[in-house]
Amino acid sequence: MSQSFAVGRAAARPAAGEPHASVAALDPRRKLQLALAVLWLLDGILQYQPSMFTRAFPQMLGSTAHGNPALVAAPITWSAGFIGHHLAVANGLFATTQVALGLGIAWRPAVRLALAASVGWAAAVWWLGEGLGGVLAGTASPVGGAPGAVILYAVLAVLLWPADRDGPFVAARAVGRGPALAAWLAVWGSIAVFALLPASRAPQGLSGMISGMASGEPNWLAWLDTRLAVALTHQGLLASAVLAAVFTIVAAGVFLPARLGRAVLVLAVVVAVALWLAQGLGGIFTGAGTDPSSAPLLALLALSYWPRSLA
């Protein structure tokens, strides 16, 4: 027996005496929320890795201050210093908070609280942990995870909020069609712009970034990234222009009729997978990755815009 019920409401009761009844069918939004919860859990567990309990972690946080305006950089430097002085406690708390966010999203009575908390947490980490994704420093690049993986968690938390508006796709049910389309345009449009910044379009820009990702990776991924980096050697401008064009097409895709829109969303997922490989899967195989980078979140974002019908 399978029964469907809305997220955040009381669960349906199966017939009495059926000990192993299938208790909950999942609607598309709930599936996406659970996927987001998995990513939060993965983040939390990555944060428990041994390297996060060493000085390398606050040093990595502190390094994101470089190139940012003083108003942005000063709190980053202060927080990195504070974390460095209370490393075990601070990192243990960070990891546990992220695990709690994942479990909270998974547990229906806490889903609203956990999503709201994840927006606040993501915003704080985006600033103090990722230096606003390098957006103000001019170092933002799609291959580097721009606009910052963690801010995409906040965007997804808003777009997957369990509100009951009527909409043609999941994201529109939370905030309405217009704001959801604006969010899509902002995310993918900004990535297109970042692809054209000097950090990416320099002759060795993308090639250098990708070859840097290969260090410490397993052989198969290092081989892939090294080959890609070699292919892009001295091709920074051309590769950046192609990337920007693809991201622009994706950004415009949700404004197309549903059938074409679906094709563009498939393209978005394919681009996200390719980007993830170029990002070295966020460095999670190196023992120093704090998250799987932006690509899995971009794929999740694309799925939340999948039209419910072709009408």
Partner 1 sequence: MSSPAWLSATFAGVMLTVALYCAGRLVVARLRRRPTELDTDAAHITMGVAMAGMLVPGLRVLPAGLWEAVFVAGAAWFGGQTLRARRAAASSAWRCPHPAPHIVECAAMLYMFLALPAAGLRAPMGAMSASAAGSRFSFLPLLLALFLLGYVVRQGDRITAQASAALGASPGRTHHALAPRCAALCKIAMGLTMGYMLILML
Residues that bind partner 1 (CB under 8 A): 10-21, 23-24, 26, 30, 34, 37-38, 41-42, 45-46, 48-51, 53-54, 88, 92, 99, 102-103, 105-109, 218-220, 284-285, 287
Q: Which is nearer to partner 1, 20 or 259 (CB)?
A: 20
Q: How far is CA 149 from CA 135, 140, 261, in A?
A: 12, 12, 24
Q: Which is nearer to partner 1, 21 or 136 (CB)?
A: 21
Q: How far is CA 285 from CA 219, 222, 281, in A?
A: 11, 11, 8
Query: Tokens representing 248?
Result: 């622009």
- Considering the complex, what minimum distance in angstroms separates the CB of residue 259 from partner 1? 31
- Considering the complex, what minimum distance in angstroms separates the CB of residue 92 from partner 1? 7
- Considering the complex, what minimum distance in angstroms separates the CB of residue 197 from partner 1? 31
Q: Which is nearer to partner 1, 39 or 210 (CB)?
A: 39
- Considering the complex, what minimum distance in angstroms separates the CB of residue 115 from partner 1? 14
Q: How far is CA 256 from CA 3, 137, 246, 270, in A?
A: 34, 34, 15, 18
Distance CA 168, CA 222 (A): 41
Residue found under tokens 């229906």: 108
Q: In 210-228, which positions are buried (b, 16+ CB within 10 angstroms) versus exposed (e)?
A: bbebbeebeeebbebbbeb
Q: Which is nearer to partner 1, 111 or 135 (CB)?
A: 111
- Considering the complex, what minimum distance in angstroms separates the CB of residue 260 from partner 1? 32
- Considering the complex, what minimum distance in angstroms separates the CB of residue 56 from partner 1? 10
- Considering the complex, what minimum distance in angstroms separates the CB of residue 268 from partner 1? 21
**Residue among 129, 132, 186, 179 at smallest CA distance from 158:** 179
Q: Which is nearer to partner 1, 23 or 274 (CB)?
A: 23
Inter-residue contact 115 to 105 (CB < 8 Å): yes
Q: Which is nearer to partner 1, 21 or 185 (CB)?
A: 21
Q: Which is nearer to partner 1, 92 or 176 (CB)?
A: 92
SS3 call for 24? coil
Inter-residue contact 136 to 72 (CB < 8 Å): yes
Neighbours of 9 (CB within 10 A): 11
Query: Tokens representing 98?
Result: 């992220």
